[in-house]
Amino acid sequence: MLGAVQLGLLAACVVLFVPMGMAGWHLSRNKVLFFSGALFITLAVGVHLTPYFPSVSDFVTSVSSSSSGDGVLLVDDNDRSSCVSFLHDIDWEVKPSMDFDPLVHKNSLNYNKSWSWRRSSSVESCEFQRLKRHHVSDLLNGSWVMVAGDSQARFFTMALLGLVLDSERMESVRESLFKRHSNYHVVVAEMGMKLDFIWAPYTTNLTDLVMEFKENHVYPDLLVMGSGLWHMLHINNASEYGVELRVLRSSVASLLPISPEFGSVSVRSPHLFWLGMPTLVNSMLNTQEKKEKMTDLVTVEYEREVERSNILRKFGGPFQLLDMGSLSWNCGNKCTDDGMHYDLVVYEAAVHILLNALLIESNQKL
């Protein structure tokens, strides 16, 4: 580090040798004295101000560590929060299965899908991981997890349970979880986690659920919510959907760190995630009503209301987005049979994004 002592020695050399050099150029004595005095005063002031500024070497190091030659941001280990913006940088590989026959096999099950985080310096420096069961057990140990919403939330719940339960138990879970329009509750005793799926297809249902938390003074540790598809199909009014989202945002504010009801008592805030709507493939929707009401134009209007409501963290809101729209779009229409519900692997990617986001929020690395 270039400090005050080194700068002092440099200043002394400048003050000593520069006037000598100037004298060698046959300048008058008065000019030499003037320049040497000006140099001495300037360097003396600079040396005394040095402690109030970062050292030169520190400055150079900070600049070189913040960017590389190709302009890509390099993430510092001490500040992984910037990694959140790269969580959805995922690439998909979708290939026909070995026995694929295009004349016979037309559904998504006849394609093999895999995903991985994009190979770039920014993403690789974040060290995202596809978590194993024991990792999830460590991360969610003793937690109360709640997922509330429509069928998208139900698939997300299935993907999450697939990480913590064995295949035999998952068979029984699949039957119970997919009972039409019903709630589901399970306790994973070996990791002390309890999980609730709440059937709440409308945004107003989600607001009612939040108000129950407030009344009972009991909150989940991890809360995943999402809505929009049912409203689009059965009400089909984007501006009304936006109003309901703003009401939900206001009600969720009561769950955040300091609650006025408890005076100065700090209330532990749950981790909040918003399950975005998937990409809708209109031509594949399985009813005429869906094709007429759930058009690309209407979908854009609904997505715009999500942004305007400021419910998402990137717009100043409480929820971190799980972007099912981008995940399903990038996987493509070979990953869905009905243009709305996607193969489980898409929801599994969303689960891993959530788990890595939790690691970043809690400043942990596995």
Q: Where are the domains of the chain?
A: 1-42, 94-259+266-362
From residue 292, alpha-carbon distances to 9, 279, 297, 303 in Å are 80, 16, 11, 18
Q: Give the tens place of pLDDT for each residue, 187-199.
A: 999 899 999 999 9
Residues of the chain with pLDDT > 90, as a percent, come to 60
Check residues 285 and 79 and name the one with the higher pLDDT. Answer: 285
Q: Give the tens place of pLDDT for each residue, 232-288.
A: 999 999 999 999 999 999 999 877 754 444 443 344 678 999 999 999 999 999 999
What is the separation of C-alpha 302 from the centre of its chain, rounded to a whole number of angstroms? 21
> Does residue 5 carry a pLDDT above 50?
no
Do the beta carbons of residue 108 and residue 340 sit within 8 Å? no
The residue ranges of DSSP E strands in the chain, in sequence order, are 90-96, 111-117, 144-149, 184-188, 193-199, 222-225, 271-275, 320-322
> Does residue 338 carry a pLDDT above 80?
yes
Options 3.40.50.970, 3.40.50.1110, 3.40.50.720, 2.10.50.10; which CATH number does 94-259+266-362 get?
Answer: 3.40.50.1110
Name the average pLDDT for the chain: 82
Question: What's the residue count for the chain?
Answer: 366
The pTM (predicted TM-score) of the whole model is 0.76
- Which whole number is the average pLDDT over 335-351? 97
